[in-house]
Amino acid sequence: MKRFIYTSALAISLFCSCETGVEEWTPTGPQTPPPTQEVVDYGARGYEVFKLVQEYYKTGNLYRENFPAQAGDGTYSFLWPYNCLTTGAAFLSDLEYDVDYQTLIDGLSCYWMESNGTHQIAGYGSGTDGTSGNSDRFYDDNSIVGLSLLEAYERLNDEAYLNRAGQIVDFLKSGKDDIFGGGIWWNESLKNVPGNESSNKPACANGYAIQFLLKYYEVCPQDRKEEVLAFAKELYEWVKTNLEDSTDHCYWNSKDASGSINKTKWTYNVGVMIQNGVCLYEITNDENYLNDAKASAQGSYGVFVRSVNGIGLAYPDHDPWFNTKLLRAYIDIAPYDSNVKQYIDVYANYINYAYEHARTQEGFFYEDWTGKDPKRSYQLLMQDAVIESYAVLALYYNGQL
C-alpha cells in the first residue's frame, strides 16, 4: 500500500570539510529537529524517476550508461548501474508499482560469463555485448548481484535465482588469499600487483561479500550453512582488523598490494559494515556485533553529515548511491537504535530538497543534491540512487521495513 508521509526539516549547527569525500562535524545546540508540514509521497517520487529512466535510458531490454550519451559510451551500461536499477525496482514492486521486475532481474544474465578466459570459474562481467558478459570481473559487483538474486528469490519464489546466487560464493572464494592475512581483492585480473593502485583489498569488495554471504546463509541449503557463515565471519574480522578507524568506527577505503592503506572514507563502506553487524547479531545473538554496528552508525553520522546553508543538514554532495547504502544501513539498525530515526529524517529532508532544487529539465536528479552543480547527473547510477532511496523511505515510513 502506498501512503503519504510528513518530512522533517532539520537545523542542527555543524561544520565540515568534504574535499576527499569525508565530512567532519561538531554538534552544537539541541538535537531535536522541528517538523514541517510538507506532505510527500516517497514511493510516487521514486516511481516518477523510474519511469523517466525507462523513457531516456532503455535500449532493448537493457539500458544505456548515460543520458545524454558521453564520449566513449558502449551500447549498454556497465553491470553496476544496471544491477542497482534492479534493486530500486524490487522495492518499488513491494509498493505495488508496475516495474516489470522479472524482466529486469533476468537481464542480469546478459552479464554472465562462464569464465574470463584465464580463470575457469563463472561470474558476472562488468560489461555486456547484449547477450553475454565481458570485461573485468569485480568481486564487489558480483556480491551486489548476489544480493539482487536473493531479492528476486524472495519476491518471485523461483529456485533458479537461489541457485545462481550460490555460484557467486565460489567466485568470491577465488578472490581470497592469505596475503595480509586474508581478505578479497577488488578486481579478478589485478590480484597482488604492487605499484598498481587498482590492485587492492577494499572495504567494498569485502563488506559486500560479507553481506551477500549472510543473506545467502539465511536461505541456502543446510549443507552449505556452516561454510558460508564461517567465510562471512572471517571476512568481517579481516575488515575490522585492517580497515576500521577506531576513532570513529568508520572504514578506510582499501589496503593495496604494497600494504599501504588508502584512508579515504565513503558512506557505503561504513554502511555495509553496519548492516553486517546487525545481520551477524541476528544470526548469532552475539551482542558484540550489534555494538559494532551501533558505534559505526553514530560515528558515520558524525563524519558524513554537515550543515548547508538553505538546506539544514545534508549528506555528502557527491556519489549519492553510496549515501543510499548508508540510508539502508540506518533503516536496518533502526529497530535496535532509537537515535537513527533522526539520521533517516535528515536524509529524507535532503532528498526532498533535491527534488525541488537539484534536477535537470527532464526531471533527473543532479549528482549534487544541494543543487549547486549537476556534476554527473547523466549517469544511470545517479538516478538509481534516487529510485532506491525514495522506495526504501516509503517502505520505512509505512512500517514495512
Domain assignment of residue 30, given as a range? 1-69+305-319+338-401
Helix (H, G, I), strand (E, B) or coil at 162: helix
**Does 280 fall in a domain?**
no
Q: How far is CA 33 from CA 11, 13, 24, 29, 38, in A?
A: 6, 11, 20, 11, 14
Number of structural domains in the chain: 1
Smallest CA-to-CA distance from 153 within 167, 164, 141, 137 is with: 164
**Does 49 fall in a domain?**
yes
**Does 134 fall in a domain?**
no
CA–CA separation, 199 and 192 (whole Å): 6
Give all strands (DSSP E) within 70-186, no chain letters: 112-113, 123-124, 127-128, 133-134
**Does 348 fall in a domain?**
yes
Return averaged pLDDT per consecutive 10 residues of the chain, 401 residues in all. 39 35 38 56 99 99 98 98 99 99 98 92 98 98 99 98 98 98 98 96 99 99 98 99 99 98 99 99 99 99 97 98 99 98 98 99 99 98 99 98 94
CB neighbour class for 120 (10 Å; exposed up to 12, middle 13-18, buried from 19): exposed
**Does 273 fall in a domain?**
no
Q: What pLDDT does 389 receive?
A: 99
CA–CA separation, 95 and 220 (whole Å): 27
**Does 145 fall in a domain?**
no
Helix (H, G, I), strand (E, B) or coil at 59: strand
- The set of cell numbers assigned to 34 is 522541528
Beta-bridge partners for 233:
none
Q: What pLDDT does 65 receive?
A: 99
**pTM given for the model:** 0.91
Q: What pLDDT does 116 receive?
A: 87
**Does 225 fall in a domain?**
no
Q: What pLDDT does 273 receive?
A: 99
CB neighbour class for 15 (10 Å; exposed up to 12, middle 13-18, buried from 19): exposed
